[in-house]
Structure formats: structure tokens, C-alpha cells
Structure 1
Amino acid sequence: MSTLDSLIVEVNDGLWTYLLIPLVVCAGLYFTVRSRAVQLRLFPEMLRVLKDKSQPRADGSKPVSSFGAFTISAAARVGTGNIAGVATAITLGGAGAVFWMWVMALVGGASAFVESALAQLYKVRDGKEPDGAASGTYRGGPAYYMQRGLEKRWPGVLFAVAITVTFGFVFNAVQSNTITSVASGSVAGSGASWFAPAVGLLLAVLLGVAICGGVRRITSVTTVLVPVMAVVYLLLGTAVVLLNLGDLPRVFGDIVGGAFGFKELAAGGIGAAIQQGVRRGMFSNEAGLGSAPNAGAAAEVTHPVKQGLVQSLGVFFDTLLICSMTAFIILTTTPELSGRQGADLTQSALTDTLGGWAGHVLTAVVFLLAFSSMIGNYYYGESNIGFMTRRAWVLPVYRALVLAVVFLGALGSVGVIWNLADVFMGLMALINLLAIIPLSAIAFRLLDDYTAQRRSGLDPVFTRSRMPDLTGVECWPDTPTAPERRETVGAGSGAP
């Protein structure tokens, strides 16, 4: 088993170091230049769009809003990697790894915009009501825009298999195992043989309740969990930073110095900082990997660009806010790292500053992080199974397998599986990036259309008549079905 693990790690390191990291960075820079830095230029517009309210349909049902889709993707993005993964990146790459995580977030925001705008454009209706009628919900993502935009189904199927295995099964097993491990350090009697199976069974039951109601149930859960866990964790981190306020100048010095310092360059440490920061940044915010567009496609918005902007904001939320807080917690309290790694390093930093109670609170936060990730991970698999087949029996089987994997993941080690997941995730990124690079021209046309409408004082509305040459577009009307809503501000006031 150790030989197999070593082989997987070697293949994975080579794949990311020599192929995927350069490809992701170059693609992000290209998208940034072509969009005139959309992720920075339209940041105020992202906040405005996030507050858009979705109107109830004629049947009284409530569609998935931009914020609801944002929380689904954030649920999958913001996981234990934001606590354990950042700590590991700092341990292996030093404080300088944090700087390169920030760089990846700023560059990756453009990639997130492109892939999510495309997912919105090429989304399809999810007709899974009992009577067979269209349900009014949507699904989409890389598999869908590969088939409809590139007019090639086989890369879509390959991507759908990769994301279903990686997120639906492997990552959910990892999250279940992480919850069990953290809980065992806080709950009395956790060493008993019944503890891990009990936790696994509880997680399977809770996840089953969350997912069996479909995308609307998933949205209703994540819109509560994600803000709660983010606020609690940020409050803990803020308390630590305030109590160590005098160390902040040193921390920023360590971050910048570790990224560019001559000492690190001479020792070869700068290479480790870049590799760990870039790689952890990609794993954390998922920009360009093709996972978040599956959630972005579920939203009901008036223009595809709106969800592209919202998903780009999600990259900043994940890395510049949550991951940065983890880095500040660690670097303000344990500058020498004390030989600890992963979540243990973050937990010890909290308890050293705030006391033992903070470790128990972190356990609850980790539970919320990991459980919300499990919900988002499940949805990614469901969306892509719908792409591969519409046979009625497949989805219940998938749900049963996911719940079984969650239970089994609580029982043992998942080291080999985690490393194998890295390879699958790399395959996802490779397939997705090779698709969105040629399709990005369409995303930039959408952006131009959106900004032109905003400059005219309109709340942008997209119809197929605005780009009649596009094929494969299913869910957007041919012409406006209602008068376009005009902003209360004058034309050009505050518009992009």
C-alpha cells in the first residue's frame, strides 16, 4: 500500500508542478487581460448583484437565487482545507505561501468568472418533478458547456465522471473522516469502539435529510450553514488577531519576505512557497477547476454575467477572507510552527491564545465546514450524473452510495484515497481549462453586452436575440418576455 501511495504522490506532484500550475496561472492571466481585470474592475457590481432577489414563480415556488447558488459553491469551497490545508501549506512552504495564495485568488477570479458565466449560458432545465414536467430548476457546468459550446460530448462525459468520483465519493469520505477525527479530540469517551461508527451513521442520516429534497433543500441548508460557520470562525480569528495586534507588522513582513526574500531564494524555500501557495490556492478556491460552475448554473438570474460575477466573488470570500484568517491565527501565535501540522496547528494556535474552550468551538466550526462541503460535493455529482444519464434508478443508487461512503469514511484512514483524489482533481482542471480557453471569447462577448446595458442605466437582461449566432443555448428566451427593469440611478451612475 505504501508503494502505491508513493507512486500516486509522485504522479500527482509531476502533473501539478509541470503541467497544471503553469496552465492555471497562464489561463488566469490571459482571462484577466482579456476581460480588463473583471474580477477587480467590477468588484462593486459583484456586491450589488449578490443582493438581487429572485421573484417567486407563477406556481408559488421559489427559484434558486444568486446568493443561494453562491452558498452551494461556498459550501463545497470552504471546507477543512481552509483550516488544515492552509496550515499544511504554511508548514511546508513557509509564510510566503500565503502571499502566493493571495496572488492565485486575484488571478483566479477571472477564471471563475469565465467558467460560471458559460455555465449559466449553457444551463438546461432539470425536469424531475413526479409528473415529469419541468421542475423550474436548472443544472449545468463544464460537461454541459463542453457539449453545447464546443459541440463535443466525450470530454463532457470524461469530466462528469471525474467530478462525480472526486467530489461525490472521495472528498465526502475525507470530510467524514475529518469530522470524526476532530470530534474525537473534544468528546469524552471518543476512544470507544462505537464512537466512529456512531458519528458516521449520524453524518449519513443528516446528509440524507439534506439532499433528498433536491437543489432547493440543499440551498435552504447551505444558506444557513455557510454564513454561520464563516461568522463564527472569523470572530474567533479576529479575537486572536486583536490579542496579538502588535505582531501583525511582523506577520506581513514574514509573508512578503517569505515570498521574495533572498534568504528563502538561496535556500530554495521560495520555490516551496510558490508551489504550496499556488497549489493550495487552487485547491481552496477551485477557480478554473470546473466545480463551482455546477452550482452557479442552478441560479435563476436575468443575465449570465451576473452569476459569473457572484462566483468570482466566491474566490475572494474563500481565499482572501477565510484562508487569510487561518494564516493570521497561525502566524501571530506560533511563528516557529512548533513542529505541528494541519488542523492541529490551527487548533493549538487558538487554544494557546483564547484557552481550551476555543478548541471545542473550532470542533463545531470544523463540523459545519465539513458538513456543508459534503452537501455541495454531493450536488456536484448529482448534476453531472444528470448529464451522463436520465435513467430514473441511477440517482437513488448514487445517493445510497454517497451515504455509504460517508459512513465508511468515518471508520478509517483515507490517505491513499486523498492522494488519488488529487489526481482526479488535476484531470478535472486539465479538461475544464482546455475547454474554457476557446470558449472564453463568448464569455467576454457576454461581459461587453452586460456592461453596455449597465452604462445605459438598465438592470441587464440577456436574450438569444442579442447573440443569434450562438448555438446550444436552451434556457434563455428569444426575446424579452417583460420590460427590462431600469435602475433607480441615472444612466452611467455607478455603472461599470
Structure 2
Amino acid sequence: MLNNVTDVLNLIDNVMYYPILIIIMTIVGLYFTARTRGVQIRLFPESVRLLLEPNDDDNSISSLQAMLVSTASRVGTGNIIGVSTAICLGGPGACFWMWLMCIIGASSAFVESTLAQIYKRKHHEGHSYGGPAYYIEQGLHQPKLAALFCIFLLATYAVGFNLLCSYNLQSTFMEYPFYNPSTTPIIIGGLLAILIAYCLLGGGKRIIKITSTVVPFMGVSYVIIALIVIILNFQNVPSMFGLIFRDAFNFQAIFSGVVGSCMVYGIKRGLFSNEAGVGSAPNASASANVSHPAKQGLVQTLSVYIDTLLLCTATALMCLSTGVARDAAVSGAPYVQNAIHSMFGAPGPVFITVAMILFAFTTLIGNLYYVDNALIFLNKKRIPSKKFMRIFHILSAMIVFVGATIPMDAAWAAADITMGGMILINLPVCLLLGKTAIDCLKDYEKQKKAGSNPIFKGSDIGLDEEELDYWK
């Protein structure tokens, strides 16, 4: 029964990403890159400068803080397990396609976050909130489509991503002698579900605070460890890059099996990690206190780069530089653990396990930040009752338990499909509303050229300010 379900999920996953989503993401990304004249590259220095721009209101969320929230939700098991899976199943060339789609997709990330800022709402306490559901409702006047997007967001972040995150965490224990495939996943899933339920139901605030503080340091430590491994294997670096580019442009191999090729795996796993164009980051972007929407759009492009060009690349180059065997049998955590074990011995895999535990926990909790926004929108902009949220959180914990016990293919396919549903709504909407974001960028650059700190007025780009809740 489970095998049949997995086969169906894989079939849907394969068709959804090739040819449908790969074509849509590429066309939309290239379109926005052309229309913005390569904003993600051209204004990269400005994006970095904006990170350091002071926040005038100490009680509001700064541009940097909003970017860190979205980056924290992106940084997780996908940076380690996702990249490993792409290389083992698709080939080293997956790295190149991951990099390429990251740069192209950053333009879509700029547009979606700029739109989230333009159409954000003001809370009665003064802070702002918003996201794709709000720019679909306000910009396109399609409340039913906005509600459908929220449903896909719930399916993605409460189900698909949490199933996969739980599976990825338990998979890091496969290399230990005590691992029993019949019982260990159940034990790990049970312990993780109990911990998540405890935190969601009001306890564990101290645990969340500690892990949220430790994770950034763990992320930096992970990159440093990866750099050490690469430096120690510097003699393999030239041949490693040669391998990546040869495999990336081996079109005979790619087109003889497109679905399982390095191109498709690189795009899918890169997208899972950086979420450019998915419609998740705009939920955090809308909360930033900025004087002009384009500022947050520019900052969000950096989040995509940090995730893919820094963290995902660190995993890829660390593993490939060691030259350890890669195949389907070690795809996921084992490949990364084997690579780091080859340099540091037994402590290496333990470090990966600890990192995965921390990344997975904060990802599972962080996913529910986006879920809360969707639930509020679906509940007619009202916070759901405590009873409803209690039941929802218990169900969320049960999903975490299930995720640890399902096959790898089912976990990845479920996450890919639900995320794909968000993209199929969000990117066409961004395309329809794209002129608004592009005009907003032009207004920003015009004011910068005049030597002033850009301040946004909806009327300057032809918007009816009466329809804008925040920018009045």
C-alpha cells in the first residue's frame, strides 16, 4: 500500500517539475531579470548596504531582522541532505544548475518580496504583516485564489516540509551501530513529536530560545568545517570543478533521462533550500519597517544567495573534494557523514548529527510562523481560537512522527508536490503584478539618483493609495 502511494507521489512529482515548473520558473526568472536589468546582480552592493541601514523605530522589525527570519526558515536540512541527495542521485553537475537557478530565481525573490511590502497591512499595534495571500487579494482582487494559496502553504509547511524534515533528521542516525530500521525511526519520531508538541502547546519557550541562539553559530561552524575540509583537499579542487561542469553540460546524459538528471535534481533541491519564488519569504518581508518596498526586495535577494551560494555550496564542495563514494545507497545524510568522517574520523558524523538536530528543530518550529499567517487569513483575518490551535498543534506533532517513519522517496515527493502547488499560484501572480514591482524599483532608483533616501508613495507609480492599507 505504502509503495503504491510512493509511486503515485513520484509520478506527480516528476511531471510537475519536468516540464511544467522548470519551464515556468526559468521563464519568469529570466523575464524579471531582463525587466529589472539584472537587479539581483546590478544592485548587489546596494543590497549589502541596506542590511546595515539603521531602523528608525526600535519597536518594529528591521529589514535585516526580516531577512534573518526568512533565512532562518530556509537554512536547515535542505542545505545538507538536499544537496547530498541531488549529487548522489543526479550527479555533480547538479551543483551548476543549483547555482544558475539561484541567480535567476533571485529576481523572482526580489519581485515577490517587493509586492509583499507594497500590499502589506498595518496591525492596530503599529507593526505590519502580509504576504502572497494579501497581494493576491489586494492587487488582483482574487480572494478565492488567495485562500487557495493559503491552503497550499498549510499543506507545504505543516505537512510536506515537516514530513521531510523529520525524515531527514532520523536519517542522520543510519550510520550508527545502534540504528535499527524497524524501531529507531519510530523512537526518534516519537521523541521529536513529543518535544515539538511540548513547545507548540506553550512549554519549551526556553528550549526554543536556546536553539534559536545556537543555530546561527552552528551554521557558521558548519561553513568553517566545510572550508577546512576543502582546504585540506585543495589538490582535488581543480578536478572537482572540472567534474561539476563536465557533468552539468553532458546533455546526452541529461536528455536520455531528464527526470533523474543533474539538471532536474539541481533545480529541485536548490529550490527546496532557497525557496525563491515559492511565496514563503514574502510573509516575513512584509513585517519589515522600511521607507520603500524596493529596499526589502533587494535585501531578500541576499537571503537566496546566503542559502544556496554559501551553505548549499559548502556542502557540495566539501563532499566532492574528499572524493568519497557517491551513489543512491548513501544519498542524504550518509554521504555527508562519510565525507566528513574521511577527514575528522568519528567526531565528524557526530557534528553533522548535532547540526541536523538543531537545524531540524528550528525548521519545524519556524515553519509554523508561516502557517500561523495562513490560518489567520483563512479565518477572516482573525486569530483562530485556542482550542483550534491546540488541536492543530497536536496534529502537527503527529505529522512529525509520521515523517520519521516513511520512505525517503515519499518524504521528498510530498514536500516537492506541496511546494510546487505554491509556486504554480505565486509565480503567475507575480508575473501579473510584476509591473507594479518593476515600477517600484524604477521609483527607488530615481530617488537614489537624485541623492535622497527613497520614500514610497503609491501615487508615484500609479497606484490608488486608498487601496493600500499601509502606504497612506
Map of 2:194 onto structure 1? 201
- Aligned residue identity for 1:413: T
Map of 2:157 onto structure 1? 167
Q: How far off its partner does 1:221 sit? A: 7.6
Map of 1:359 onto structure 2? 349
Q: How far off its partner does 1:417 sit? A: 5.4
1:235 aligns with 2:224: yes
What TM-score does the superposition give when structure 1 sets the normalisation length? 0.85
Asked if structure 1 preserves the Cα contact closer than 8 Å seen for 2:87 and 2:95, the reply is yes
What TM-score does the superposition give when structure 2 sets the normalisation length? 0.90
Map of 1:104 onto structure 2? 101
Structure 2 counterpart of 1:453, from 422, 447, 452 = 447
CA distance in 1, matches of 2:366, 2:203: 10
CA distance in 1, matches of 2:378, 2:297: 25
Map of 2:28 onto structure 1? 27
Asked if structure 1 preserves the Cα contact closer than 8 Å seen for 2:116 and 2:132, the reply is yes
Map of 2:91 onto structure 1? 94
For residues 86-143 of structure 1, the C-alpha deviation after alignment (integer angstroms, 9 at most, x for no partner) is 11111121111100000001100100000000001111124xxxxxxx1223221111
- Aligned residue identity for 1:7: V
Asked if structure 2 preserves the Cα contact closer than 8 Å seen for 1:385 and 1:395, the reply is no
Structure 2 counterpart of 1:324, from 285, 303, 313 = 313
CA distance in 2, matches of 1:4, 1:307: 41
CA distance in 1, matches of 2:147, 2:203: 27
Q: How far off its partner does 1:145 sit? A: 0.4
Q: How far off its partner does 1:413 sit? A: 1.7
Asked if structure 2 preserves the Cα contact closer than 8 Å seen for 1:382 and 1:395, the reply is no
CA distance in 2, matches of 1:382, 1:460: 32
For residues 29-81 of structure 1, the C-alpha deviation after alignment (integer angstroms, 9 at most, x for no partner) is 00000000000000011111112232335xxxx21111211122112211211
Mean Cα deviation higher: 195-204 or 303-312: 195-204
1:383 aligns with 2:373: yes
Q: Tell me: CA distance 1:414–1:243, structure 2 relative to 1, closer, same or farther (3 Å).
A: same
Give secondary structure in 2 for the equivalent of 1:85: helix
Give secondary structure in 1 for the equivalent of 2:389: helix
For residues 158-189 of structure 1, the C-alpha deviation after alignment (integer angstroms, 9 at most, x for no partner) is 00111012102332243234334436866989
1:68 aligns with 2:65: yes
CA distance in 1, matches of 2:259, 2:91: 9
Q: Tell me: CA distance 1:179–1:463, structure 2 relative to 1, closer, same or farther (3 Å).
A: same
- Aligned residue identity for 1:402: H
Give secondary structure in 2 for the equivalent of 1:301: coil
Q: Tell me: CA distance 1:420–1:407, structure 2 relative to 1, closer, same or farther (3 Å).
A: closer
CA distance in 1, matches of 2:149, 2:211: 25
Give secondary structure in 2 for the equivalent of 1:83: helix
Asked if structure 2 preserves the Cα contact closer than 8 Å seen for 1:176 and 1:370, the reply is yes
Map of 1:9 onto structure 2? 10
Mean Cα deviation higher: 352-361 or 173-182: 173-182
CA distance in 2, matches of 1:476, 1:176: 41
Map of 2:121 onto structure 1? 124
Q: Tell me: CA distance 1:8–1:123, structure 2 relative to 1, closer, same or farther (3 Å).
A: same
CA distance in 1, matches of 2:20, 2:255: 25
Q: Tell me: CA distance 1:44–1:353, structure 2 relative to 1, closer, same or farther (3 Å).
A: same
Q: How far off its partner does 1:418 sit? A: 4.5
CA distance in 2, matches of 1:204, 1:48: 40
Q: How far off its partner does 1:26 sit? A: 0.5
- Aligned residue identity for 2:406: V
Q: Tell me: CA distance 1:184–1:86, structure 2 relative to 1, closer, same or farther (3 Å).
A: closer
CA distance in 1, matches of 2:413, 2:46: 38
Q: Tell me: CA distance 1:228–1:210, structure 2 relative to 1, closer, same or farther (3 Å).
A: farther
CA distance in 2, matches of 1:225, 1:113: 29
Give secondary structure in 1 for the equivalent of 2:282: helix
CA distance in 1, matches of 2:277, 2:335: 29
Structure 2 portions without partners, runs of 5+:
none
CA distance in 1, matches of 2:119, 2:203: 27
Asked if structure 2 preserves the Cα contact closer than 8 Å seen for 1:87 and 1:327, the reply is yes
Map of 1:258 onto structure 2? 247
Mean Cα deviation higher: 339-348 or 396-405: 396-405
- Aligned residue identity for 1:430: L
Asked if structure 1 preserves the Cα contact closer than 8 Å seen for 2:174 and 2:334, the reply is no
Q: Tell me: CA distance 1:142–1:317, structure 2 relative to 1, closer, same or farther (3 Å).
A: same
Structure 1 portions without partners, runs of 5+:
127-133, 478-496
Mean Cα deviation higher: 66-75 or 390-399: 390-399
Map of 1:115 onto structure 2? 112
Q: Tell me: CA distance 1:195–1:160, structure 2 relative to 1, closer, same or farther (3 Å).
A: closer
For residues 222-253 of structure 1, the C-alpha deviation after alignment (integer angstroms, 9 at most, x for no partner) is 97355323201101101111110111101110
- Aligned residue identity for 1:252: F
- Aligned residue identity for 1:106: I
Asked if structure 2 preserves the Cα contact closer than 8 Å seen for 1:176 and 1:203, the reply is no
Q: Figure out how many residues of one structure are paired with residues of the other and give that number.
A: 462
Asked if structure 2 preserves the Cα contact closer than 8 Å seen for 1:32 and 1:38, the reply is yes
Q: How far off its partner does 1:210 sit? A: 8.9
Asked if structure 2 preserves the Cα contact closer than 8 Å seen for 1:285 and 1:318, the reply is yes
CA distance in 2, matches of 1:244, 1:270: 32
- Aligned residue identity for 2:323: T
Mean Cα deviation higher: 326-335 or 179-188: 179-188
Asked if structure 2 preserves the Cα contact closer than 8 Å seen for 1:304 and 1:446, the reply is yes
1:344 aligns with 2:338: no
Give secondary structure in 1 for the equivalent of 2:261: helix
CA distance in 1, matches of 2:160, 2:378: 19
Q: How far off its partner does 1:262 sit? A: 6.8
Asked if structure 1 preserves the Cα contact closer than 8 Å seen for 2:18 and 2:259, the reply is no
Map of 1:480 onto structure 2? none
Q: How far off its partner does 1:470 sit? A: 3.5
Give secondary structure in 2 for the equivalent of 1:202: helix
Map of 1:443 onto structure 2? 437
Map of 1:308 onto structure 2? 297
Q: How far off its partner does 1:198 sit? A: 3.0
- Aligned residue identity for 2:125: S
CA distance in 2, matches of 1:259, 1:184: 30
Asked if structure 2 preserves the Cα contact closer than 8 Å seen for 1:81 and 1:284, the reply is yes
CA distance in 1, matches of 2:15, 2:468: 38
1:224 aligns with 2:213: yes
CA distance in 2, matches of 1:253, 1:104: 20
Map of 1:130 onto structure 2? none
CA distance in 2, matches of 1:280, 1:417: 13
CA distance in 2, matches of 1:332, 1:445: 45
CA distance in 2, matches of 1:265, 1:419: 21
Structure 2 counterpart of 1:463, from 445, 448, 457 = 457
Q: Tell me: CA distance 1:210–1:313, structure 2 relative to 1, closer, same or farther (3 Å).
A: farther
